[in-house]
Amino acid sequence: MEILKIPVLRSPVMVIAFSGWNDAGEAASGAASHLLGCWTDPAFDVVPELIAEVDPEEFYDFQVNRPTVYVDDSSIRNLTWPGTQVFALATPTLSHDFIVVRGVEPSMKWKTFSSDLLDLADDCEVDLVITLGSMLADTPHTRPITVSGSGAHPDIATRLGVEISKYEGPTGILGVIQDSCIRRGIDAISLWAAIPHYSSNSPSPKASLALVNALEDFLEISIPQGDLPDEAIEWEAEVTELAKEDSDVAEYVKALEDSKDAVDLPEATGESIARELERFLRRQTDK
């Protein structure tokens, strides 16, 4: 990893998202990109600063994640290599700053990759690591996207008020980073959005918005929404139109809706309304 700068930040939280296996519907990488770009309003005066880059030669199989060729305005061909970038995000309106890690899931040397990343976290005095992921699930696109928060260790989960992760099976780089955090004594949680599997071929701004909202709720902060709510509405409408074109898919979506509505108790609906109200009040306070 090439360290470009060790910034001076206030109690920074490291937010990590990778495209690939951990990123159904590009929801997690979309949420990280939103976090980097949502404070562009001059009123916020927040500009992401690139502080580190991962050498792709060390961690990527280029037959799995190939470099791409693009032609610039001068008709000169250039290569873009798969990799990972780390940004510092100073947010003076909040009680802490961010370090945002965004990239392609590495192909090899995951232990070394995680160690290098957490070395940087230590250097920047990171208080908390939050990994973002998204997975395919039997859930309807017309209902709120479910985001589950979990901790990889019971003590951390209890102290931070999230569920204890009980997942068993294959894992991605996020699982390795969570394990590395535990071994270093760094607090870490994971937020995962459930993506309708029948609509996973395109980016899902609705799921990205759900992850951003979950991040807000956990940290008790307000994050600018930008165009994400409108994009989420457009995405839902597009998926609905596509579903109508296939009667089998339409019937399947209806069955998922009925199942979801039967499971969601009135108390859960009340909790959702309360969270929305809390977000609204935080945004009013931030104005």
pLDDT over 60 at 287, yes or no: no
- What pLDDT does 219 receive? 92
Position 250 confidence tier, pLDDT thresholds 50, 70, 90: confident
So what's the pLDDT on residue 206? Answer: 96
Q: pLDDT band for position 257 (50/70/90)?
A: confident
User: 199, 241 in Cβ contact below 8 A?
Assistant: no
Predicted model pTM: 0.88
CA 257 to chain centre: 25
CB 208 within 8 A of CB 148: no
CA distance 218 to 162: 9
Question: Percent of the chain scored above 90 by pLDDT?
Answer: 61
Cα distance between residue 188 and residue 14, in whole Å: 9
pLDDT score for 31? 97
> Which two tokens mark 155?
């003590």
pLDDT at 265: 57
pLDDT of residue 188: 94
Instruction: Count the Cβ atoms, other than its own, within 10 Å of residue 184.
Output: 15
Instruction: Determine whether 88 is exposed, middle or buried from the number of CB atoms within 10 Å of its CB (0-12, 13-18, 19+).
Output: buried
Confidence of residue 281 (pLDDT cuts 50, 70, 90): low
Residue 107 near residue 64 (C-beta atoms within 8 A):
yes
Instruction: Kindly report each contact of residues 262-269 with a partner whose C-beta sits within 8 Å and lies 24 or more positions away, as own/partner.
Output: 264/143
User: Chain-wide mean pLDDT for the chain?
Assistant: 88
CA distance 227 to 232: 9
pLDDT band at residue 210 under the 50/70/90 scheme: very high
CB 61 within 8 A of CB 110: no
Residue 210: Cβ within 10 Å count: 23
DSSP string, 101-167: EEEEPPSS-HHHHHHHHHHHHHHTT--EEEEEEEEEES--TTSPPPEEEEESSHHHHHHHT-EEP--
CATH for 2-286? 3.40.50.10900
Q: What's the maximum distance between 2 C-alpha atoms anywhere in the chain?
A: 60
pLDDT at residue 45, rounded to an integer? 75
pLDDT of residue 285: 62
Q: Report the distance separating Cα 191 and Cα 214, nearest Å.
A: 8
What pLDDT sits at residue 249?
82
Q: Is the pLDDT at 278 greater than 70, yes or no?
A: no
Report the pLDDT value the prediction gives residue 284, as an integer from 0 to 100. 59
DSSP sequence for 200-256: TTS--HHHHHHHHHHHHHHHT-----TTHHHHHHHHHHHHHHHHHT-HHHHHHHHHH
Residue 167: which pLDDT band, with cuts at 50, 70 and 90? Answer: confident
> pLDDT at position 201, please?
74
Q: Does residue 268 register a pLDDT over 60?
A: no
Find out whether 117 and 68 touch, Cβ atoms under 8 Å. Answer: no
Question: SS3 helix, strand, coil % of the chain, rounded to 5?
Answer: 45, 20, 35
Residue 47 has pLDDT above 90, yes or no: no
Residue 161 CA from chain centroid, whole number: 19
> Where are the chain's structural domains?
2-286
Quote the pLDDT of residue 3: 94
Is 92 a residue whose pLDDT tops 90?
Answer: no
Range from 58-62, 70-74, 172-176 carrying the lowest mean pLDDT: 70-74
Q: Return d(Cα 77, Cα 70) in angstroms, integer.
A: 6
